[in-house]
């Protein structure tokens, strides 16, 4: 295999990885936002345990979204 072919293969692999990180960031941010909205709705109807669970899921999703943004920026 020539070096040009190896380089093209690595570029394709990195592009797929960057695209995966981008979609993961969008997905996690969306899940976090929907979880926070559902937490507000649950707390308004006095379902505190459901609200706490939704807040925990939302905060975790936001943290994973930030982490995947860092991975995206570090990917070559």
What's the pLDDT tens digit per position in 10-68?
Answer: 677 778 888 999 999 999 999 999 999 999 999 999 999 999 999 999 999 999 999 99
Q: Can you tell me which residue has the tokens 């899940």? A: 31
Phi-psi domain of 75 (left: phi exceeds 0; alpha: psi -120 through 50; beta: other): beta
Does 6 have pLDDT greater than 70? no
Q: Tell me the pTM.
A: 0.81
CA 33 vs. chain centroid, Å, equals: 12
- Token pair recorded at residue 21: 């990180």
Residues contacting 31, CB < 8 A, separation 6+: 57, 58, 61
């Amino acid at each position: 295999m020539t070096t040009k072919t190896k380089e093209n293969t690595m570029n394709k692999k990195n592009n797929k990885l960057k695209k995966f990180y981008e979609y993961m960031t969008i997905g996690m941010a969306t899940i976090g936002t929907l979880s926070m909205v559902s937490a507000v709705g649950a707390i308004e109807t006095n379902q505190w345990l459901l609200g706490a669970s939704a807040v925990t899921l939302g905060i975790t999703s936001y943290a994973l979204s930030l982490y995947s943004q860092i991975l995206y920026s570090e990917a070559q």
